Amino acid sequence: MPRINLTIKSVERLRAPTKTGKPILYWDDGPRAVRGFGVLCSGKTHAKTYVVQRDLPNGRTRRATIAGANEISLDKARTEAAELVAAMRKGIDPKAARQKALTLAGALDAYREARAHLLRPRTELHYRATVERHLKDWLDLPLAEITRDMAEKRHREIAEAVEAAHRAAAAEHAKRHEARAKRVAKSYPEAAARHRAKAAAAAGRAPASGHVAANNSMRILRMLWNFAADRDPTLGPNPVRDRKLWFKVPRRERHVPDDELPKFYKAVLALENQVQRDYLLLLLFTGLRRREAAQLRWTDVDLPKRVLRIPAAVAKADRKLDLPLTDVVHDILVARRALGDGKFVFPGNSKSGHIEEPKFALAQVAAACGVTVSVHDLRRTFLTVAESAEISPLALKALVNHSLGSDVTSGYIMMKVDRLREPAQKVADKMKALCGIAQLAGGNVAKLR
């Protein structure tokens, strides 16, 4: 291995990638040289890395990475090299020390800090909540101590724990509402009936398998490990390597079939809670995501211009959505506006002030018509109906705020709200026909109730 006087200029002149395609290590050999300090030039990339190498008292040779030549000054690298050499002379293994210091919690914090400008708040919250819920006892564990066997075992345990928790929660929910129904059976028979309906819905609820939670936990662990290993190549192989052992989670296909839309729509209209009713109708006729619709403020609704504006901060893809109001959606919002001038279109008693999760309303609908769906299934229903309405693929993507594509042509297309009015109304007309909504003669106004 060659020796040179390492200066700022000499380091800049070193070639990377090397002519041979193999890495070359240049040892420091100048008047300020630190024994064991050098620059490693990659044979395949432009990387130049400051390293230090020395024999430990036990006879083992240890090489430690300091930093990239573009990340730290030569003087600072030489100072750190001298400190590492002194530590190794005392028998301190820098590889073991670094690995021991880097815990799962530390990797999570470092990742969040490095990606702060890229992560959405909900994504960051999801990562932390998943790690703290399913890998809590590993937070203070050095990454290097997490083995492949540990990861595979934890993967199975997470699925089992989530399923058991869902079963217990459903049983407790049913028990609580049965008890409430008994307490008010004589004095408030209508309230008792509602509690019995909630108890029946809870008892009949299928528990989550936990497969998605288990896979997501391993996916996040693998991501954090790769992030840490990218900065410390000595970390070793990722313990989450064999994805073939993960649970197979089939792509969801559930939606409201065309032939069941009339009874589903009728059951939604029959809901006593007007907020829940109108919220579900809006989802069915727009395909909006749960939170996009739930967080709607009246400042996002322009009734005169017939436009619904979803801010980028609320939309999942960080991409604002200006949605034209079809006749059905316009009627729903006009009726809701007549009820008051609150902040949210769909107010609720939750901490947020708006509706959160309409599970009970959907359970009531399922009990009335036999069609069981989730909020996201309504988005899938909208997309299925929209595709059958024979609108252009680009218009379909724009209506549900999907990316128009990554090719050059798609990148130039700007789908304006007026361009979407005709396809949006076409989808609404198709949905009305499938739901059996009567069309009044002489106009586009439909009889919704």
Dump the DSSP string for 18-39: -TTSS-EEEEE-STT--TTEEE
**If pLDDT is split at 50, 70 and 90, which confidence band does 409 have?**
very low
Tens of pLDDT, residue by residue over 241-255, are 777 778 887 777 889
If one compares 96 and 254, the residue with the highest pLDDT of the two is 254
| Same domain, residue pair 443 and 390 | yes
Number of domains composing the chain: 3
Task: State the residue range of the domain holding 347.
Answer: 258-447
Same domain (yes/no): 187, 49:
no
* Same-domain check for residues 176 and 212: yes
**With 90 as the cut, is the pLDDT of residue 258 above it?**
yes
pLDDT at 230: 85
Q: Identify the pLDDT of residue 386.
A: 94
- Express each pLDDT in 46-80 by its tens digit: 889 999 998 888 888 888 888 888 888 999 999 99
Residue at a domain's end among 94, 112, 144 = 94
- Alpha-carbon span 427 to 89, nearest angstrom: 75
Beta carbons within 8 Å of 340's beta carbon, 6+ residues apart: none
Region 407-421 average pLDDT? 64
- pLDDT given for residue 442 in this prediction: 42
Q: Pairing relation of β-strands 3-4 and 446-447?
A: unpaired
The CATH number for 20's domain is 3.30.160.390
- Check whether residue 188 and residue 310 sit in a common domain: no
* Mean pLDDT score, 424-436: 95
Which pLDDT score is estimated for 6?
92
Same domain for 17 and 160?
no
Rounded to whole angstroms, the Cα distance separating 367 from 119 reads 40
Which CATH number is 436's domain given? 1.10.443.10
Taking only the tens place, the pLDDT of each residue in 372-393 is: 999 999 999 999 999 999 898 8
Q: Do both 398 and 277 map to the same domain? A: yes
What's the pLDDT score for residue 413? 44
Domain boundary among 216, 245, 274: 245
Do 208 and 163 lie in a common domain?
yes
Residue 309 corresponds to which amino acid?
A: R
Half-sphere exposure of 322 (CA within 13 A, CB side): 13
The last residue of a domain, from among 197, 220, 245: 245
414 pLDDT exceeds 70? no
What are 97-143's pLDDT values in tens digits? 555 558 899 899 989 888 887 787 888 899 999 999 999 999 988 88
Q: Which tens digits make up the pLDDT trace of 177-215? A: 999 999 999 899 889 998 888 888 888 777 788 999 999
347 or 119, higher pLDDT:
347
| 239 shares its domain with 262 | no
- The verdict on 235 and 263 lying in the same domain is no
> What confidence tens digit (pLDDT) does each residue in 210-238 have?
999 999 999 999 999 999 888 777 787 89
Give, in order, the Cα–Cα distances in Å from 109 to each of 41, 76, 115, 248, 277: 30, 25, 10, 30, 42
3-state secondary structure 107-159: HHHHHHHHCCCCCCHHHHHHHHHHHHHHCHHHCCCEHHHCCHHHHHHHHHHHH
Which residue matches tokens 């996916």?
219
Does the pLDDT value for residue 145 go beyond 90?
Answer: no
Mean pLDDT of the chain: 87
Q: Is 109 a domain residue? A: no
| pLDDT value, residue 211 | 92
Question: Is 230:246 a contact under the CB 8 Å cutoff?
Answer: no
102 occurs within a structural domain: no
